[in-house]
Structure 1
């Protein structure tokens, strides 16, 4: 998706070329471009390529400037760009003279709020930090989320996952719709790497577009794929047709539109309303190979990749050079969009790409950091994205927080950040996103697209900034479902306009003519607002409160919708009339709010009328709902039940648009996605301001009801067994022991429930449904079982690289003490993990405890191996806890197999210790033969006169077989998501970006007698650590002994801990396997076949 966009124009004019190269020639010195005439000058057309030509005489111009097709490749330029008098295509004055392009213009300010598309990078879960699982996405900020990417198998033409593990994410991704029913989830197929020349899929798009048989296979596979996983549409990201350097073929130009037509027909034949979009580049070089006029007839919209306009690739391009330029330059974006306007593309079918990341450079001269200065290379790689020349929004935020200098480039509409003496990056924040949104609205664009939603920070700050501009707040509380049983809400429409799609005017039941219900409050003379409701939930309405002395009040069974001094009749001399409608499911939420404070003396001066107990003020106004007698003193308050049915609210005076508006001349319009709740002329010389909110979503929302039903099912029978687990389970082998009774949920329902709880705990879904679900969780499960959403969230923070759904499932399967365990772990970690320079045993609490005795009485359902300290066997609960396994090790029930030091592919240091399990009580499946512990270590530190290893994380897992390696066979630990799923026992830190304040665990450092006042978790780990040290399993000799690890050590001069020593592997990747009394010699230098990704 974020592929390199090489340059804006494919060629420059002949005049430009003349200044850049030698344009003289001869019979033996051919022209670089053009024909050589007998005058010794290069050029095109009959004067150069005709009778006077002496070399390269068969060359033709790109276009025909008037000298005939005999001398030209084409009569006109692609995309209707201009043909210069020299026969080259382009868009600047050198090509077009004084000709200009008319861009679409819109007076309203919300066209781009129609769509907000976010791309989700599936590989974001593999980052070393800032991982983004689907449940972490702020879904309320988006109308569409695209999963990036799926590939196409080059042999079978079936849809295929881009990476191993993507299939496990598909339903988690589409399941987000259960938290936000208006969200659509699409699959994006392709991406930059699919067409890389060295990939087996390089020509797959071309092969597919050119073969009816291949298309039939692909369509069948795609439809099955979308139905299986619940995708709502498909985005085709072909980068790029025709272009030779991108594996394209000339026939792609005609084949691509035909392929898309066939795809649309196949999707339509299913009876589903599947969506179809494609991505397009912003560079002329690549866009010229898209027949955008024909393609527009078939698709729903174009996603324009208006980012990556510049990057490190510029340094090798003679037309751009190594100059500092923004990768989202608004001036160049405007030029790119002109290519579409030249071809009369409907702007509503164009979605503008925005970047939640930046392109970074290393400055050639630290004193020269303005655009136009040069760079020597890409900027330093970020700690999480780990890519030279690119930083995520989250990484840029941290750079800024560290004191970087930030400047606004108004011409490019970007922020420029400089730091570290020679680092430079451009990116978009709330200020520059507004500039781009204002531009989008001015030119009537049909939406915005983000690459990538998964490069946002943990709080969703970039999405929140965008949501504020689109009117789709991060708390997007107005979601209405497309499902048949969803109850849509009534709303007041805009002045002089028809009802929104799907709604119709409510009917009056009073007066002679009756007819449509509405109010003229807040509207220009001769206009009114219709009261719009869903056809299947249509109330009847009437004005109450007779003139001239009005005291409008609704009757029982009615709700007050609006107010007016006249309604549809005579004017009130005092008081006001109210519009009352029969209460039904579509307007029930209106009854949850009411205006308080009676004119003329509404409250004390400069004060607001108070709300009754149980309600809080959402806003205040002189005029109440708008058509009421105004206050002389104080203000009326709009008081609502909690949580309020209206959210995402604010006062708007120009429909959300400010630029170009006349001050104090108010339009009273609401931004897209909002409806008017009240109007007030205060502050306006003419017109009204509107209090606009997202339409209320009723509490009988079917998504909330379904969530509550599933949660109640689990509460009735809150027991998990291994086969129930979707994220912490391990497949394979028959059970060897009887299991606890299963809960009453089907596997798909259980998976959906875990996804929803995870998203609720993270708290960034930002939808009304999620707020209601959170309340249901706390009432139905959290309070009786002692586990809050906050505790689940904190457990994610305790192990930031662990799959969040796995953590949720583990806690839900632990029963009533899960919340206590989260609290215990956090209290224990602060005592077990210490600074490397602290004195041994400092600031510790103490008393003794017996591991088995202290664990035996506490009933706790276990997680998978290692994630509960409770000593519970497989026979008791189906999965042995790490507490039980440690008991077996310490009590001599297990046999040590080997120890081995490994320097992993990710550069981490692991001590692997393997024990053989003696019986079924230590197994989950019959195939389990060993238990493996990985101790992630960094250094040796002197602790009270003893050099002890500093360990920052511990994981454990079962193993079933040996895996072949280059020299020494190890137990196979590659099944991270199945047989060898890791259990996370300790996480002092992530092991990256260590500082003087980073904490570690030092085995043997804390005596058992010092832990009795600590939680059981600390007691178990301390006892295990002392055992490992006393048995010489984890000591200095383990790492440096001549018959064991054989590592050497060194110190850092700048290390504040002068006694700390780091390990030198001497070019080796792993030690031989050894035991404390064994005889191991030599070290293999090559790595083995295991990735050793423990997610720490």
Structure 2
């Protein structure tokens, strides 16, 4: 999907070529294009390629302008573009004369809000920073999420993961539907790299489309895959058929539509309504090879990749050149979509691509940064995406925060950012996204899609900006209540009608006029609306606010349902009455919103009343809920908690909308499935308009109820054992039979619960169901067990590279200790990790220390402290007390450029093992520099990670313990992480072993005591000293100063050409001669 379009050929590309080329020729000087006639001029057709031709006589025109197929490659141009009199295809006046393309037009509306699709890059979990796990996606902003990518095995034609770790993400990705019932999760198959010529899958799409046998294998595999993991649709991203440079074949043009028809039939045969879409390019060069007219008959929609229009590849393209141009230029997007309109493609089947990233360049001349100036190369790589010429939305935000200059390119509808003297990037923000959304709505497009949801920042800022424009804002949208829950919420009925099926009228409790509860607001004379509730959640109601001077207010424990000037009694002279009902599960959502602004002067002229802190405006009205004194100036605002309990809201039969069969005769009726929240006669000659919303979710909502059930089952038996943990190894020993019984949850329910808790803790789901689930967790689990969602979130923030579900599992399995352990480091967070620039131990910077407890994620010194597993505290005690035997030390330079000191000890007995196969425990100390601390050069370490190992990896002649898996048998225990930023500065903190005496931690939590004691042991035993890194028989690294470092006492390591040392010990038993070998990547997630 995020593939580079190496050429953006305007359809007029032949015209500049014609003017630039030398069109003289001879028998020995052939034409670059066309035939050479005996007049010495190049051209096409019979006048040049017939009897008068002297060279290149077999050249044929692109299309037939009327001289016959003998002289032409094709009778017509691809994509219905125009054929010029010279036999070339194009779209400008030179080709088409006065013929124009009629683009679809919609005078107003929100057609593109129907679908908002986000692509999720599975590899985003491997970035060195800004990692994005599925639980971090702001799912309330999207209608569909596409997992990018799966591949197709070139031999078996079965669906295959793109990367080894993708399978572990599939169910986490589709499991997001447990937080948002309207969300669809699709699998996207293909992507740019699948067709790279150097890949074994280069021709797989072509082979598949041309073989019925291969298709049968693929369809069976795909259906099984989608059923297994819970995907709702498939998106085919073939980049690109036919194109030779993209491994295509001429037969692809006809084979692709036939393949898609067969795929649709296979999906339909399952009885499941699976969706089917394809991606298409925005360039004519590649789009000409898609039979879009035939394909449209089969698929649900086209995802148009209307980004990557320009990039560093332009520099080698003779038609574009190294000129600054934005990658999402709206003018060029319009030209691209005209190719679809030429072929009468239904705009409702077109989804416009948007970019949550930017293409960056290095300016040739720093003084020339406008479009049209030149670039010398791609822009500097971002710290997290690490790709020259590309920056994520999150990285661009950081650049802007650093003082970059931002300008609006109105013609292209993009923002241009310049900084650092010679850096340039174009990107979209809320302002330019609006321009593109307005364009989409104007041309009746069926939706928008984003590449990529996973390049957003940690707060989902780009998604939030888009959501506000599509109406799916995470601050103004709640999930639709599922069909099974439509009778679970109270609602106002229609005028003069009985309650909907399954609901009964709530009863009044006030005075003598007891009976059915309702209001006549918004109804014709003699009619009223009943307040309808489920029989098993029936409130009692009464009108409050006595006439004539009414000041209706509900009491504590009540919710305000509606308002009226009379209720069931005398009419108010001032103010209004309110209908108040006892609060219960069926109407609790009503309390989430309240009208703001008091008549007659509700707000300043032409403005709306403000909302209190924590609430945002959902709509506004002159009459509030409908039965109130109207505003003379301004409007009243309907202010709701975030996210609000209502979704899919709009005014019906209200001024400016469709006003019924008779103009301005408003009926005030809501569409089926929606309920009236407020009424207003404004814009109506008679009757009322109604503000109608889908019924809100309640705690009885199936998703909320399922979450509660899972949580309650866990609470009954809040015990984890190693054999059932989802994110650690499986215990193959007999020791587990002595462990306590695990919680009463199936593995799928346990993994589902972890996903939900992680997403709730991150807090970006943005659905009303998620807010109900969050309240349920904090009340049902958080209060009795002392662990809140906020504490879980804080633990994520301090370990941004650690798998969120893994961390959640560890915290849940700590039981009542979890909250204390999260809080422990916050109460004394600056005592162990310190700034390198600090000269004395008394200085403090107040920056967080992280002590994650994985292995048994606890510093407690008991093997059984956590489901019978050895805690890291227990293991450290074993090392310090001499119970373990040192095997080796080794310095490693990872592919990502991190420095690791690996120290391995042999495990003496089963109390230190998780499984019977565990033979060693390995500690990784991530180090950066040496700093002079009180006259001693100490290693600056920013993270400690530990794991068990079972065997040596014999990938080269310098064997090490095998720790290649960051899950499973080699799952990491993140013991300490001092800093979480991607760039070090004077305030970055480190752990300096031996720098803090044991006595200094006597009054600190246990974790601080254990890690300090460990550091002093490592220093005293000469395991981590200056000699470890620079000694002639040990690390043999040299050190250099960094003149830009504000801490002059720090020196950094020069590795030369080496990647790892030989193994050594303090007494020199193993020589430390450096090696160029690189045996494994860093899987420590720090």
Q: How would you bin the TM-score normalised by the shorter chain?
A: 0.7 to 0.9
Judging changes above 3 Å, is the alpha-carbon distance between structure 1 residues 496 and 734 closer, same or farther for their aligned structure 2 residues?
Answer: same
Find the aligned partners of 1:609 and 1:113 in 2 and give their Cα distance.
27
Matched-pair contact (CA < 8 Å) for 1:188–1:236: yes
Find the aligned partners of 2:552 and 2:875 in 1 and give their Cα distance.
74
Judging changes above 3 Å, is the alpha-carbon distance between structure 1 residues 172 and 495 closer, same or farther for their aligned structure 2 residues?
Answer: farther
Judging changes above 3 Å, is the alpha-carbon distance between structure 1 residues 1041 and 215 closer, same or farther for their aligned structure 2 residues?
Answer: same
Judging changes above 3 Å, is the alpha-carbon distance between structure 1 residues 271 and 287 closer, same or farther for their aligned structure 2 residues?
Answer: same
Judging changes above 3 Å, is the alpha-carbon distance between structure 1 residues 950 and 520 closer, same or farther for their aligned structure 2 residues?
Answer: same
Aligned to 1:1081: 1071
For residue 904 of structure 1, report the CA deviation from its aligned partner.
1.3
Find the aligned partners of 2:566 and 2:440 in 1 and give their Cα distance.
40
* Deviation larger for 337-346 or 94-103: 94-103
Judging changes above 3 Å, is the alpha-carbon distance between structure 1 residues 1070 and 573 closer, same or farther for their aligned structure 2 residues?
Answer: closer
For residue 703 of structure 1, report the CA deviation from its aligned partner.
0.3
Matched-pair contact (CA < 8 Å) for 2:812–2:818: yes
Tell me the SS of whatever aligns to 2:866: helix
For residue 998 of structure 1, report the CA deviation from its aligned partner.
1.0
* CA distances 1:591-623 after superposition (whole Å, capped 9, x unpaired): 987879998899999999999999999877542
Aligned to 1:528: 528
* CA distances 1:636-667 after superposition (whole Å, capped 9, x unpaired): 78698999633698999999999999999999
Matched-pair contact (CA < 8 Å) for 1:480–1:487: no
Tell me the SS of whatever aligns to 1:239: coil
Matched-pair contact (CA < 8 Å) for 1:109–1:438: no
Tell me the SS of whatever aligns to 1:271: coil
Judging changes above 3 Å, is the alpha-carbon distance between structure 1 residues 556 and 384 closer, same or farther for their aligned structure 2 residues?
Answer: closer
* CA distances 1:399-428 after superposition (whole Å, capped 9, x unpaired): 000000000011000000000000000000
* Deviation larger for 582-591 or 674-683: 582-591
Judging changes above 3 Å, is the alpha-carbon distance between structure 1 residues 314 and 384 closer, same or farther for their aligned structure 2 residues?
Answer: same
TM-score (norm 1): 0.87
* Deviation larger for 1033-1042 or 92-101: 92-101
Judging changes above 3 Å, is the alpha-carbon distance between structure 1 residues 602 and 658 closer, same or farther for their aligned structure 2 residues?
Answer: closer
* CA distances 1:288-331 after superposition (whole Å, capped 9, x unpaired): 11111111111111100000000000000000111100100000
For residue 977 of structure 1, report the CA deviation from its aligned partner.
1.3
* CA distances 1:73-116 after superposition (whole Å, capped 9, x unpaired): 11111111111111111112221122111111112321111000
Matched-pair contact (CA < 8 Å) for 1:846–1:1013: no
Tell me the SS of whatever aligns to 1:117: strand
Judging changes above 3 Å, is the alpha-carbon distance between structure 1 residues 912 and 495 closer, same or farther for their aligned structure 2 residues?
Answer: farther
Matched-pair contact (CA < 8 Å) for 2:576–2:627: yes
Tell me the SS of whatever aligns to 2:1001: coil
Tell me the SS of whatever aligns to 2:773: helix
Tell me the SS of whatever aligns to 1:830: coil
Aligned to 1:1091: 1081
* Deviation larger for 442-451 or 732-741: 732-741
* Deviation larger for 462-471 or 96-105: 96-105
Tell me the SS of whatever aligns to 1:625: coil
Tell me the SS of whatever aligns to 1:563: strand
Judging changes above 3 Å, is the alpha-carbon distance between structure 1 residues 987 and 664 closer, same or farther for their aligned structure 2 residues?
Answer: farther
For residue 332 of structure 1, report the CA deviation from its aligned partner.
0.6
Tell me the SS of whatever aligns to 1:769: helix
Aligned to 2:938: 948
Find the aligned partners of 1:504 and 1:279 in 2 and give their Cα distance.
49
For residue 365 of structure 1, report the CA deviation from its aligned partner.
0.5
Find the aligned partners of 1:90 and 1:482 in 2 and give their Cα distance.
50
Find the aligned partners of 2:401 and 2:844 in 1 and give their Cα distance.
46
Judging changes above 3 Å, is the alpha-carbon distance between structure 1 residues 859 and 1088 closer, same or farther for their aligned structure 2 residues?
Answer: closer
Aligned to 1:739: 739
Judging changes above 3 Å, is the alpha-carbon distance between structure 1 residues 931 and 634 closer, same or farther for their aligned structure 2 residues?
Answer: same
Judging changes above 3 Å, is the alpha-carbon distance between structure 1 residues 931 and 374 closer, same or farther for their aligned structure 2 residues?
Answer: same
Matched-pair contact (CA < 8 Å) for 2:698–2:772: no
For residue 193 of structure 1, report the CA deviation from its aligned partner.
0.4
Find the aligned partners of 1:320 and 1:602 in 2 and give their Cα distance.
57
Judging changes above 3 Å, is the alpha-carbon distance between structure 1 residues 40 and 662 closer, same or farther for their aligned structure 2 residues?
Answer: farther
Judging changes above 3 Å, is the alpha-carbon distance between structure 1 residues 562 and 455 closer, same or farther for their aligned structure 2 residues?
Answer: same
Find the aligned partners of 1:472 and 1:663 in 2 and give their Cα distance.
30
Judging changes above 3 Å, is the alpha-carbon distance between structure 1 residues 51 and 461 closer, same or farther for their aligned structure 2 residues?
Answer: same
Matched-pair contact (CA < 8 Å) for 1:728–1:864: no
Find the aligned partners of 1:593 and 1:949 in 2 and give their Cα distance.
56
For residue 992 of structure 1, report the CA deviation from its aligned partner.
3.8
* CA distances 1:971-1012 after superposition (whole Å, capped 9, x unpaired): 111122111111000101247411122111010111111111
Tell me the SS of whatever aligns to 1:1049: strand
TM-score (norm 2): 0.87
Aligned to 2:755: 755
* Deviation larger for 627-636 or 518-527: 518-527
* Deviation larger for 136-145 or 588-597: 588-597
Matched-pair contact (CA < 8 Å) for 1:862–1:870: no
* Deviation larger for 655-664 or 681-690: 655-664
Aligned to 1:710: 710
Matched-pair contact (CA < 8 Å) for 2:965–2:1083: no
Find the aligned partners of 2:609 and 2:357 in 1 and give their Cα distance.
46
Tell me the SS of whatever aligns to 1:758: helix
Matched-pair contact (CA < 8 Å) for 1:952–1:991: no
Matched-pair contact (CA < 8 Å) for 1:109–1:656: no
Tell me the SS of whatever aligns to 2:850: coil
For residue 1064 of structure 1, report the CA deviation from its aligned partner.
1.4
Tell me the SS of whatever aligns to 1:877: coil
Judging changes above 3 Å, is the alpha-carbon distance between structure 1 residues 847 and 6 closer, same or farther for their aligned structure 2 residues?
Answer: closer
For residue 359 of structure 1, report the CA deviation from its aligned partner.
0.3
* CA distances 1:766-802 after superposition (whole Å, capped 9, x unpaired): 0001000000000000000000111101111111111
Find the aligned partners of 1:858 and 1:454 in 2 and give their Cα distance.
27
Matched-pair contact (CA < 8 Å) for 2:1036–2:1074: no
* CA distances 1:662-701 after superposition (whole Å, capped 9, x unpaired): 9999999999999873355779999999867665223321
For residue 5 of structure 1, report the CA deviation from its aligned partner.
1.9
Judging changes above 3 Å, is the alpha-carbon distance between structure 1 residues 78 and 143 closer, same or farther for their aligned structure 2 residues?
Answer: same
For residue 1070 of structure 1, report the CA deviation from its aligned partner.
1.2
Matched-pair contact (CA < 8 Å) for 1:851–1:1020: no
Matched-pair contact (CA < 8 Å) for 1:548–1:574: yes
* Deviation larger for 980-989 or 20-29: 20-29
For residue 718 of structure 1, report the CA deviation from its aligned partner.
0.6
Tell me the SS of whatever aligns to 1:1010: helix
Matched-pair contact (CA < 8 Å) for 1:190–1:236: yes
Tell me the SS of whatever aligns to 2:843: helix
Matched-pair contact (CA < 8 Å) for 2:859–2:872: yes
Matched-pair contact (CA < 8 Å) for 1:899–1:913: yes
Aligned to 1:901: 891
Judging changes above 3 Å, is the alpha-carbon distance between structure 1 residues 694 and 1040 closer, same or farther for their aligned structure 2 residues?
Answer: farther
Judging changes above 3 Å, is the alpha-carbon distance between structure 1 residues 655 and 443 closer, same or farther for their aligned structure 2 residues?
Answer: farther
Structure 1 unpaired stretches of 5+: 834-843
* CA distances 1:445-485 after superposition (whole Å, capped 9, x unpaired): 01000000000000000000001001111146432255656
Matched-pair contact (CA < 8 Å) for 1:903–1:1069: yes
* Deviation larger for 587-596 or 197-206: 587-596
For residue 218 of structure 1, report the CA deviation from its aligned partner.
0.6
CA-based RMSD of the aligned residues comes to 6.4
Judging changes above 3 Å, is the alpha-carbon distance between structure 1 residues 675 and 109 closer, same or farther for their aligned structure 2 residues?
Answer: farther
Q: Paired residues, what number?
A: 1086
* CA distances 1:1007-1063 after superposition (whole Å, capped 9, x unpaired): 111111111111000000011111111111111111111111111223222221111
Find the aligned partners of 1:768 and 1:755 in 2 and give their Cα distance.
17
Matched-pair contact (CA < 8 Å) for 1:941–1:1059: yes
Find the aligned partners of 1:855 and 1:579 in 2 and give their Cα distance.
55
Judging changes above 3 Å, is the alpha-carbon distance between structure 1 residues 1078 and 607 closer, same or farther for their aligned structure 2 residues?
Answer: closer
Matched-pair contact (CA < 8 Å) for 1:851–1:887: no
* Deviation larger for 437-446 or 844-853: 844-853
For residue 759 of structure 1, report the CA deviation from its aligned partner.
0.3
Matched-pair contact (CA < 8 Å) for 2:1037–2:1054: yes
Matched-pair contact (CA < 8 Å) for 1:1070–1:1083: no
* Deviation larger for 506-515 or 165-174: 506-515
For residue 49 of structure 1, report the CA deviation from its aligned partner.
0.9
Tell me the SS of whatever aligns to 2:124: helix
Judging changes above 3 Å, is the alpha-carbon distance between structure 1 residues 661 and 167 closer, same or farther for their aligned structure 2 residues?
Answer: farther
Judging changes above 3 Å, is the alpha-carbon distance between structure 1 residues 723 and 295 closer, same or farther for their aligned structure 2 residues?
Answer: same
For residue 626 of structure 1, report the CA deviation from its aligned partner.
3.5
Tell me the SS of whatever aligns to 1:859: coil
Pairwise mapping of residues 1052-1063 of structure 1 onto structure 2 (< 5 A)? Answer: 1052-1063=1042-1053
* CA distances 1:186-229 after superposition (whole Å, capped 9, x unpaired): 00000000000110001111111111111111111011100100
1:644 aligns with 2:644: yes
Matched-pair contact (CA < 8 Å) for 1:873–1:881: yes
